[in-house]
Amino acid sequence: MKTISLETLSLDAAAEIAQRALSHGRAANMAPLAVAVLDVRGALKAFLADDGTSLLRFDIAFGKAWGALGMGFGGRALQQRSANTPLFYNALHAMTDGKVVTVPGSVLVRNAQGELLGAVGISGDSSDNDERCAVAGIEALGLRADTGAPA
């Protein structure tokens, strides 16, 4: 087994997170999932999709991860904040050409020290189930999943 660095979100770590997230979804008989993993710069490090995902799943998964990373909050906080300040989030959507998706299923990836390494976005099942798969993929590597839920 190859050693995966947990100091940065390496290509190997991103691919492993994506694979573990898909495996979690399959084991739970979820709908086909698409998983986007971004590093701290917002660069796409891995994308995997189950057979049978629909056309827009990449855009949604990427938008979930990109929005969480860009705003610094997991999807649960993004959803709550967008409900509380809709004018701001309307402006944010306009500024980003609609790329930001503000629902669960967008999870920040942190190391044991709490440092931000990147983000995972998943689309395909319910937002809650998408989030569960992202958390499973991240935690399988011993990293911390930050969903934006209150502590």
Instruction: Please give the Cα distance from 108 to 87 (Å, whole number).
Output: 24
Tokens 């710069």 sit on residue: 41
How many Å separate Cα 28 from the centre of its chain? 18
Task: Supply angle C-alpha 14, 129, 26, rounded to 5.
Answer: 70
| Beta-carbon-side half-sphere exposure of residue 31 (alpha carbons within 13 Å) | 13
End-to-end distance of the chain based on CA atoms, in angstroms? 35
Model confidence band, residue 2 (pLDDT cutoffs 50, 70, 90): low
Give the span between the Cα atoms of 42 and 19, in whole angstroms. Answer: 19
- Residue 89 DSSP SS3: helix
d(CA 26, CA 113): 31
User: What are the residues whose beta carbons fall under 8 Å from the beta carbon of 124, sequence distance 6 or more?
Assistant: 25, 30, 31, 32, 33, 34, 50, 53, 57, 130
- All structural domains of the chain, each given as residue ranges with its CATH number in brackets, are 11-146 (3.30.450.150)
Residue 4: per-residue pLDDT: 60
Residue 3 has pLDDT above 60, yes or no: no
106 close to 139: Cβ distance less than 8 angstroms:
no
Q: Is it the case that residue 5 has pLDDT exceeding 60? A: no
pTM: 0.93
Pair 107, 145: CB distance under 8 Å: yes
Query: What is the tens place of the pLDDT at every residue in 84-142?
Result: 999 999 999 899 998 999 999 999 999 999 999 999 999 999 999 999 999 999 999 99
DSSP 8-state class, residue 107 = E
6-30 residue pLDDT tens: 668 999 999 999 999 999 999 999 9
pLDDT tens column, 54-75: 999 999 999 999 999 999 999 9
**Residue 55 carries which side chain, given as an amino acid letter?**
L
